[in-house]
Amino acid sequence: MLNARALAATALLPLAANAQNQVNMSTGISEAGAVITDLGVEIYDLHMLIFWICVVIGVGVFGVMLYSIYAHRKSRGVEPSQFHEHTGVEIAWTVVPFFILIGMAVPATSTLLEVYDNDDAEMSILVTGYQWKWKYEYLDADGENVAFFSNLATSQEQIYNTDTKGENYLLEVDEPLVIPVDTKVRFLITANDVIHSWWVPEIAVKRDAIPGFINEAWSRVLAEGVYRGQCTELCGSYHGFMPVVVHVVSQGEFDDWMAAKKGSAAADAALAATELSVDELMVRGEDVYNASCLACHGANGEGGLGNAIAGSAIAMGGLDSHLNVVVNGVAGTAMQAFGAQLSDVDVAAVTTYQRNAFGNNTGDVVQASDVVSYKEG
Amino acid sequence: MGDHHHGPAKGLSRWLYTTNHKDIGTMYLWFSFAMFLLGGAFAMVIRAELFQPGMQLVEPGFFNQMTTLHGLVMVFGAIMPSFVGLANWLIPMMIGAPDMALPRMNNWSFWILPPAFLMLASTLLMEGGAPAFGWTFYAPLSTTYAPPSVTFFIFAIHILGVSSIMGSINIIATVMNMRAPGMTYMKMPLFVWTWLITAFLLVAVMPVLAGAVTMMLMDIHFGTSFFSAAGGGDPVLFQHIFWFFGHPEVYIIILPAFGVISQIIPAFSRKPLFGYASMVYATAGIAILSFVVWAHHMYTVGMPVAGELFFMYATMLIAVPTGVKVFNWVTTMWRGAMTFETPMLFSIGFLVLFTIGGFTGLMLSIAPADFQYHDTYFVVAHFHYVMVAGAVFSMTAAIYFWLPKWTGRMYNETMGKVHFWVSFIGFNVTFFPQHFVGLAGMPRRIPDYALQFADFNMMSSIGAFIYGASQLLFLYNVIAAIVAGEKVSDEKVWDGAEGLEWTLPSPPPYHTFETPPKIEEQPAH
C-alpha cells in the first residue's frame, strides 16, 4: 500500500515551500535593499533594457497583426489589395532595427568589459569541479593554502521523498565557500574530470570549469549573506546535485574562520598520528561515505552507478587492493582517486567503514598510519 | 529506361524499391512523425519526473539518457526528415519537374535512416545505458566518461549525416537543373528558395559534424587526445567544432519553416507575398551569418573578450534579416481578405511564437546578460519557442495545407482547429513558465530542483501532457482524412493558393509534369 501521509505531504509541498515564485533574473539587490554586487545590478539593468525594447517592438508588430486579423478578414467582405512591395518601407525596416541594435550594443559592450576586468584582485580562490562536488582552495601568499570539498548536504531521504524537504532543498552544502565582504575576489575555475560550470546568480558569476584549463572570474560582494547557486553544465548523472553556496561575511569573521580552518587542518594532521578506536573510525567513516561514496555506491552499499560494496570482493578481500581502489581510483571509470581528495584519516575511516558496514563484517580496522604506509608503498 | 507510365508497384516492394519522389516523401513524413512521437514520449518521461521536486520515477542517469535522446530524436529524427519529406513531395511539383534529379540516391538517403535510428534507440538496452551527455555531447563527458554505447551513437550520427548530405545534393541538383522552362530563380516559390539555401548549409556543415564525431571515436578507441588537455588537446575545441555545425543546423531547421509560412500566409490572405525579393535576400543573409555566430553558445567558456564582442555583434545582426521576414509576413496579411482555416491558424501561431523566440534570442545574444541566462531553462524556453512553435508548428501547418492535395481528401476542419488551440495553449503553458524558472536560476538538464521552482515546473508538466496528447488528435485527423475524408474535387483546394502544384489534380497522378508545364508571364510570388 502506498504511504498516504507521505503522498499527501509531497502533494502539499509546492504550496507550503516557497510562496514567492520568482519570475525574473536576480536584481543584484538583497531583500534588505542593499546592493549585492555592482556588476549584478548592471547586468540586471541591461537585461531589463533589452527586455523593454523587445516589448515595445512586440507590441507594435503584434498590434498591427491583431488589427489586421480583425479588420482584414474575408468574412467582413473586404476585397484583398494586391500590393506586394514598397522599397521605402523595406529599407526603413532594415535600417531602423540596425540602429536599435547599436543602441543595445553600446551598454552591452561596456558591461562585458567590466565582467572581464580581472585586475587588482585582493584574494584568489581556486575552484575545481569534480563529479559531483566543488573543491575550494584559498591561494595563500605564504603557500599555506586552505582547501576543502563542498558536498551536497541534502539527505537521500529528502531526495527520495521519504523525508520532508527542507527550505534549501538541493541548495545546501556541508561546507560553504566563505569570502569577506567588499573584497575583490578572483575565482580561478577549473575541473578535474568533465566540464562543470560554477554559477551563483545573485553575485552574477558564471564560468565554465574546464579540465586542463583555468578560467578567471571575479566578484566584489557588497552585502553580507548566503548566496546559492548550482552547477550549470551537464556533468554526468548527479549534475543536479552539486550546488554552490557562498557565505559572505565581515573581514573579522573571515579572518577567524580562516584561522580555525588552518587550526583544524593541523588537528587532522595530529589525528593521523594517533590510533582511533573502531567506533570512532566507523562514525567518521559513515560521514565520509555519505558525502563521497553514497551517490554512486548507494546508501546501503548496494551499488548503482558504481559497483556494489556490500559483499564485494574488493571490500572483503585483501586490504591493499581495497586501498588501491580508494586511493588511486579506477582508470577509465567514474571511480575517482580519493587519495588526493580525502585526508589520510578519512581514507582510513571510510575504508574501515566499508569493510564492516552493510554486512561486510570483516572486523578489519584501518588506521591513518596504514594509509600513509600504503601510499609510501 | 522502360515504361514511364507505370503506376506504383504492389505491396512492400513498392516502398522498398521506390524511386518516386511522392512515395519517398510520404515515407519521410511518416518516419518523422513516428520519431516525433518517440521523442515526445521521451519528453513525457522528462516532464513526469519534473512534475514535483524529488526523484519519483527514474534515476538521474536515466533522466540524462532521456534528455539526450529527446534532443537527438527530435532534431535528427523528427524535424529534419520531416522537411526533407516535404521537399520531396513539393519541390518537383513546385518547379514543374517530373521527379527529383537523383531518384535512386533519394531511395537510399531515406532507407538508411530507419536502421540508424533503430541503432540509436537500441542503445537504451545496452550495458551502461544510452548516451547520457546531452544532444550537444560535449567532450570529455561524451568521450572519456561516456557509456560504451557512445560508439553506436557515433555510427548513427555518421549515417544521419550521409543521409542528409545525399538528400541535400539531390535537392540542389533538382532545383538547379530541373526547373520547367521559364521558371527562373526569382520566380521559384519561396519554399523552394529556402530549401535550396538550406541544402547548401547542410552540405557545408554535416561534414563538420562527421569530423567532430570521428575525432571522438579516435579519442575513445585509438588513443588520440583531440579533446583531452592531458594529451595536449582541448575540450573547448569540441564545442567550437560542434557549434560550427550546430548553429547553421538550427537555421537548417528553421529556413524551410520560413518557406512554408511564406506559402501559406499569402494563400489565406488572398494576396501576394509582400517583398518576395527581400525574403530571398533575407534568407541568404541569415544563412551566411549563421557561419559566423557559433560561439554565442559558448560565452561562458572563457573566450578572449575580443572574441566575445565579435560573436555578440554578429549574433545581434541576425535580428535584421529575421525582422525583415516577420515584417514581410505581417504586411502580407495587411489589407488582405483573410480566412482562418487550420493551416493559417498554425501559421499565425508560428508568427507570434517564433517572434517571441526571436526576442529571447536577441536577449541571449547580449553576452554579459547571457552569463546569467546560459544553460538555464530560459535557454530551454527560447529554443523550444523557435524549434517547436517555429519548426513543428510550420510543419503541422504544411501537413494540413498540402494533405488535401496529396491525398485528394479533406481533413476534418473542426478537429484541426481544436488541434491548433489545444496545441497553442498546451505549448505556452509548457514553455512560457520556463522563462521564469530559468531567469530565477534553474539550470537545464537537472532531474530534480529546488523548491522555489516547483509551481512553474508542475505547470510546465501539465502543459506538456496537453501538448503531447493533442498530437494524437492530429494523427487521428490525418489517418481519418486519408481513409475516409471528404473527396476534394478542386485542383486548387484553397481558393487563394498559388503555384504549380495547385494546377495538378487532387490527388496528383503517380507521375506528374512528364512534359514541363508552361510558366505564364506574371510577377513572381
Cβ separation B366–A116 shorter than 8 A: no
Alpha-carbon gap, residue B457 to B468, rounded angstroms: 16
Residue A292 pLDDT exceeds 90? no
- For residue A328, the model assigns a pLDDT of 87
Query: Does the beta carbon of B306 lie under 8 angstroms from any beta carbon of chain A?
Result: no
Alpha-carbon gap, residue B209 to B212, rounded angstroms: 5
Residue A281 pLDDT exceeds 80? yes
| DSSP string computed for A242-268 | -EEEEEEE-HHHHHHHHHHHHHHHHHH
> Are the beta carbons of B43 and B437 closer than 8 angstroms?
no
Task: Collect all residues with Cβ–Cβ distance below 8 Å to A193 and sequence separation of at least 6.
Answer: A129, A130, A131, A211, A235, A336, B140, B145
Residue A12 pLDDT exceeds 80? no
- For residue A344, the model assigns a pLDDT of 86
What are the tens digits of pLDDT across the range A217-248? Answer: 999 999 999 999 999 999 999 999 999 999 99
Residue A6 pLDDT exceeds 60? no
B99 catalytic? Reply is: yes
> Are the beta carbons of B167 and B94 closer than 8 angstroms?
no
> Which residues 13-52 on chain B approach chain A with CB closer than 8 angstroms?
52
B326 vs A302 pLDDT, higher one: B326
Instruction: Give the torsion through C-alpha atoms of B480, B484, B487, B488, to 10 deg.
Output: 10
A195 contacts on B by Cβ (under 8 Å) = 138, 140-141, 235
B240 catalytic? Reply is: no
Residue whose cell numbers read 550521409: B162
Query: Does the beta carbon of B445 lie under 8 angstroms from any beta carbon of chain A?
Result: yes
What are the tens digits of pLDDT across the range B484-523? Answer: 999 998 888 998 999 999 999 999 999 999 999 988 755 4
Domains and CATH numbers, chain A: 38-115 (1.10.287.90), 123-268 (2.60.40.420), 275-376 (1.10.760.10)
Residue type at A95 in one-letter notation: V
What are the tens digits of pLDDT across the range A102-134? Answer: 999 999 999 999 999 988 899 999 999 999 999
B439 contacts on A by Cβ (under 8 Å) = 22-25
> Cα Rg for chain B, rounded, in angstroms?
23
- For residue B167, the model assigns a pLDDT of 96
Query: Over the range B183-221, which residues count as b (16 or more CB within 10 Å of their CB) and which as e?
Result: beeebbbbbbbbbbbbbbbbbbbbebbbebbebbbebbe
Mean confidence (pLDDT) of chain A: 88
A47 contacts on B by Cβ (under 8 Å) = 363, 366, 369, 372
B423 catalytic? Reply is: no
A20 contacts on B by Cβ (under 8 Å) = 452
- For residue A371, the model assigns a pLDDT of 87
Domains and CATH numbers, chain B: 18-199+246-503 (1.20.210.10)
B396 catalytic? Reply is: no
- For residue A4, the model assigns a pLDDT of 46
- For residue A368, the model assigns a pLDDT of 86
Cα A299 off chain centre by? 22
Cβ separation A165–B269 shorter than 8 A: no
Instruction: Categorize the per-residue pLDDT at A319 as very low, low, confident or very high, splitting at 50, 70 and 90.
Output: confident
A7 contacts on B by Cβ (under 8 Å) = none
User: Which residue of the set B163, B342, B347, B396 is catalytic?
Assistant: B163
- For residue B522, the model assigns a pLDDT of 54
- Joined together, the cell numbers standing for residue A15 give 504550496
User: From edge to edge, which strands make up the β-sheet containing A146-150?
Assistant: A146-150, A133-139, A123-130, A184-191, A215-220
- For residue A21, the model assigns a pLDDT of 81
What are the tens digits of pLDDT across the range A173-190? Answer: 999 999 999 999 999 999
What are the tens digits of pLDDT across the range A328-349? Answer: 888 767 788 888 888 888 899 9
What residues in chain B have per-residue pLDDT under 50?
Answer: 1-3, 523-525
A18 vs B113 pLDDT, higher one: B113
Residue A9 pLDDT exceeds 80? no
Task: Collect all residues with Cβ–Cβ distance below 8 Å to A162 and sequence separation of at least 6.
Answer: A6
Residue A358 pLDDT exceeds 70? yes
Is residue B2 helix, strand or coil?
A: coil
The arithmetic mean of pLDDT across residues A64-68, rounded, is 96
DSSP annotation of A111: H
The arithmetic mean of pLDDT across residues A29-36, rounded, is 90
B127 catalytic? Reply is: no
Cβ separation B141–A194 shorter than 8 A: yes
B341 catalytic? Reply is: no
- For residue A339, the model assigns a pLDDT of 84
Q: Among the listed ranges A55-64, A279-288, B41-50, B248-257, which one has the minimum average pLDDT value?
A: A279-288
